[in-house]
């Protein structure tokens, strides 16, 4: 055994030297010239966006606490249905902590209306979801549901909610077709892919001044849909190439090669941060000087954590107000989550729960009353204005641009529509 190491280790050492020599030959130690793309314009010929210092939290945003005088039956229950475990758990945890926070705040302020909270685990799996959803639907004390987080599971269960008349607000499923099934109980608490796509196109071209945009999509429902609407909104001449990657992929050499070949100045990555972060990092490492744009699925503190300095070139689109920038929310959230900061869709979960809690406070403690209440709801939440169309889409949705500044995601203002 010892003999093996004797052979192996010198071999590695020898080779490391090769690597090291190469490093030092091009100037002073490993990676001193990090060569990251310009974050603030200039070097790459692109415009930069000013950081937005003040966040437009709607002054009259509805809070779950209400007026503190609400009265309701002690069995009144809200539920979260979605991933709690499994590979998709993180998104679900972000959401139900938001819901938990809303309910905690409500119950603290309203001693006579203690709303119960139940969670049902779907693992984010369309085939698993029917069981928990049926269970939730059969529990008559549940008057409203926050969920389901993913488009796939929403598709496989929307009908069950519809049959039971149980209203639910999805805080994160963005597939446009979800509102075209005639489900009256389905409400979407954020913009769908059709809203974000054109905004992303606008950010890439008009706002950042990109002339050559490269669109990369993952193989998720979300990524595919968003890439499609983004490409459609881009001027034909500005789209220099497209590529597809797969969920779980960690090496993007081929895609990076294609981007470099295309001489693109802006890359739009339509997917989630798990692939987006290494992709951006590898782009920059290969010498990409342009900007990187990701949608709300990429806009996550994890992105910066994983991509490091490479993330300086990143911009994000999101039809949301950044909850982690609202200090009061972030602090309160951390108490519920056990210390972790709010993540993607935490605010949406909080807002969705707030709307239902407001309904309960107003005596809407049956499913049909709750559905009617949501349908006619018209008020600001923490992240946006909530007013639904007849199909369950939100009516007007500003899409915000975000950028990375000093290792944080900061708002760069609203992306003008049209």
Partner 1 sequence: MGINPEGPPMGGAEAAQLDADELAETKGSRLDKLRGRWRALPRWQQWLVLSIVALVVFFLPVINPPIITTEPGTDFPLACFDMARFALVALGLNVVVGQAGLLDLGYIGFFAVGSYVAALWTSSDSTYVHIPFLWTLPLAMVVTVFFGVLLGIPTLRLRGDYLAIVTLGFGEIIRLLASIVPALRGNVGFQNVGAPPGTHDGKQIFDNSHGTPWYMMTVAIIIVVMLLLGNLERSRVGRAWVAIREDEDAAETMGVPTFKFKLWAFGTGAAIGGLSGAIFAGQVGFVNNQKFDVATSMLFLAAVVLGGSGNKFGAVIGGAIVSYIPNRFIEIANYKYLIFGVVLIVLMIFRPQGLLPARNHLLAAIGRIRQWTGTASGQPEAAAATDAGRITLRKEEDQ
Partner 2 sequence: MHGLVTSLATVDSSWIQFDWSNLFQNFWPATFDGMTFGAIYALVALGYTLVYGVLNLINFAHSEVFISGAYAVVFTLSALGFGPNPPHLSLIAIIGDLLLACIAAMIVSAIVALIVERVAYKPLRDRGAPRLAYLISAIGASFAIQYIFFNWRSSNAEPAVIMFNPKPIFDVFGTIIDSQQLTIVIAAIVMMVATDQFIRRTRLGRGIRAVAQDPDTATLMGVNKERIIMSTFVIGGILAGAGALFYVMKVPSGVIYNGGFILGIKAFTAAVLGGIGNIRGALLGGLLLGMIGNYGQYLLGDAQWTDVVSFIVLVLVLMVRPEGILGSNLAKVRA
Stretch that binds partner 2, among 65-73, 106-114, 251-259, 381-389 (CB under 8 A): 251-259
Q: Footprint of partner 2 on residues 23-82 (CB under 8 A)?
A: 23-26, 29-35
Instruction: Please give the helix or strand (H or E) that residue 161 lies within, else none.
Output: helix 151-164
**Minimum distance, C-beta of residue 151 to partner 2, in the bound complex (Å):** 19
Could you tell me the smallest distance in angstroms from the CB atom of residue 241 to partner 2? 11
| Residue 213 DSSP SS3 | strand
> How far apart (Å, rounded) are the C-alpha atoms in residues 274 and 217?
13
Stretch that binds partner 1, among 70-78, 136-144, 262-270, 331-339 (CB under 8 A): 136-144
Which C-beta is closer to partner 2: that of 314 or that of 357?
Answer: 314
Cis preceding linkage at 91, omega within 30? no
CB atoms within 10 A of CB 62: 18
Question: Binding string to partner 1 for residues 202 to 241, with x set by CB under 8 A, is what?
Answer: -----------------xxxx-xx----------------
Site membership for partner 1, residue 116 (CB under 8 A): no
**251 binds partner 2, rule: CB under 8 A:** yes
Query: What element of type H or E holds 322?
Result: none
Is-contact 136 153, C-beta < 8 A? no
Q: Tell the residue number behind the tokens 């488009």, with chain if given.
A: 151
**134 touching partner 1, by CB under 8 A:** yes
Query: Binding of partner 2 at residue 309 (CB under 8 A)?
Result: yes
- Neighbouring CB atoms inside 10 A of 164's CB total 17
Task: Single out the residue of 75, 114, 116, 285 in contact with partner 2 (rule: CB under 8 A).
Answer: 285
Query: Which of partner 2, partner 1, none does residue 84 bind to, with CB < 5 to 8 Å depending on kind?
Result: partner 1
Tokens of residue 33, six digits: 């010239």
C-alpha 46, offset from chain centre:
26
Least Cβ distance, residue 340 to partner 1 (angstroms): 17
Q: Considering CB distances under 5 to 8 angstroms, the limit depending on partner class, which of partner 2, partner 1, none binds residue 59?
A: none
Q: Of residues 17, 32, 85, 261, which one binds partner 1 by CB under 8 A?
A: 85
Q: Is 407 in the site for partner 2 (CB under 8 A)?
A: no
| Number of residues that make up the chain | 418
Question: Burial of 182 by CB count in 10 Å (0-12 exposed, 13-18 middle, 19+ buried)?
Answer: exposed
Q: Does 243 bind partner 1 (CB under 8 A)?
A: no
Among 37, 92, 132, 147, binds partner 1 (CB under 8 A): 132
Strand-pair partners of 379: 386
Q: Is 339 in the site for partner 2 (CB under 8 A)?
A: no
Cα–Cα distance between 176 and 242 in angstroms, integer?
22
Residue 14 near partner 2 by CB under 8 A: yes
Minimum CB distance to partner 1, residue 156 (Å): 3
Give the shortest CB-405-to-partner 2 separation in angstroms.
16
- Considering only the stretches 95-103, 172-180, 302-310, 389-397, report the one whose residues sit in contact with partner 2 under the rule CB under 8 A: 302-310
Query: How many Å apart are CA 230 and CA 252, to the nearest integer?
Result: 21
Number of residues near partner 1 (by CB under 8 A) = 37
Distance CA 204, CA 293 (A): 7
Place of tokens 């693109």: 264
Among 24, 34, 246, 257, binds partner 1 (CB under 8 A): 246
- The DSSP symbol for 35 reads -
CB 314 within 8 A of CB 404: yes
Specify whether the CB–CB gap between 81 and 133 falls below 8 A.
yes
β-strand partners of 410: 403
Q: Which does 155 bind (CB under 5 to 8 A by kind): partner 1, partner 2, none?
A: partner 1
The three-state DSSP-derived secondary structure of 247-263 is CCCCCCHHHHHHHHHHC
* Residue 351 makes contact with partner 1 by CB under 8 A: no
For the chain, the straight-line distance linking the first and the last C-alpha, in angstroms and rounded, comes to 69
Contacts with partner 1, residue ranges (CB under 8 A): 84-86, 89, 118, 120-121, 123, 125-127, 130-135, 137-139, 152, 155-156, 159-160, 163-164, 175, 177, 181, 219-222, 224-225, 246
Contacts with partner 2, residue ranges (CB under 8 A): 1, 3-5, 7-9, 11-26, 29-35, 86-90, 219, 243-246, 248-255, 257, 261, 274, 277-278, 281, 285, 302, 305-310
């Amino acid at each position: 055994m010892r003999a093996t190491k004797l052979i192996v280790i010198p071999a590695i050492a020898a080779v490391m030297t090769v690597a090291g020599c190469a490093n030092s030959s091009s100037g002073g130690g490993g990676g001193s010239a990090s060569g990251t793309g310009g974050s603030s314009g200039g070097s790459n010929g692109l415009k930069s966006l000013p950081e937005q210092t003040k966040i437009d939290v709607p002054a009259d945003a509805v809070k779950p606490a209400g007026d503190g005088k609400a009265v309701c039956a002690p069995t009144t229950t809200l539920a979260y249905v979605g991933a709690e475990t499994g590979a998709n758990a993180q998104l679900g945890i972000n959401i139900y902590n938001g819901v938990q926070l809303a309910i905690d705040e409500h119950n603290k302020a309203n001693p006579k209306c203690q709303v119960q909270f139940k969670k049902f685990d779907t693992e984010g799996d369309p085939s698993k979801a029917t069981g928990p959803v049926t269970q939730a639907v059969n529990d008559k004390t549940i008057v409203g549901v926050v969920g389901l987080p993913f488009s796939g599971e929403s598709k496989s269960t929307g009908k069950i909610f519809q049959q039971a008349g149980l209203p639910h607000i999805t805080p994160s499923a963005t597939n446009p077709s979800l509102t075209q099934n005639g489900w009256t109980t389905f409400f979407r608490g954020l913009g769908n892919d059709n809203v974000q796509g054109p905004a992303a196109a606008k950010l890439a071209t008009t706002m950042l001044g990109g002339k050559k945009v490269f669109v990369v999509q993952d193989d998720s429902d979300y990524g595919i849909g968003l890439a499609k609407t983004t490409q459609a909104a881009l001027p034909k001449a500005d789209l220099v190439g497209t590529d597809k990657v797969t969920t779980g992929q960690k090496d993007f050499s081929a895609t990076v090669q294609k981007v470099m070949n295309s001489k693109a100045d802006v890359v739009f990555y339509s997917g989630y941060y798990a692939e987006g972060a290494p992709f951006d990092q590898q782009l920059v490492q290969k010498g990409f000087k342009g900007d990187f744009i990701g949608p709300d699925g990429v806009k996550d503190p994890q992105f910066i954590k994983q991509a490091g300095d490479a993330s300086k070139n990143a911009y994000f689109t999101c039809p949301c107000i950044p909850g982690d920038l609202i200090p009061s929310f972030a602090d309160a959230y951390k108490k519920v989550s056990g210390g972790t900061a709010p993540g993607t869709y935490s605010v949406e979960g909080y807002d969705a729960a707030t709307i239902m809690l407001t309904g309960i406070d107003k005596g809407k403690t049956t499913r049909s009353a709750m559905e009617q209440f949501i349908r006619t709801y018209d008020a600001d939440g923490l992240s946006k204005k909530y007013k639904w169309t007849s199909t369950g889409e939100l009516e007007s949705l500003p899409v915000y641009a975000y950028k990375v500044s000093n290792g944080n995601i900061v708002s760069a203002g609203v992306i003008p529509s049209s």
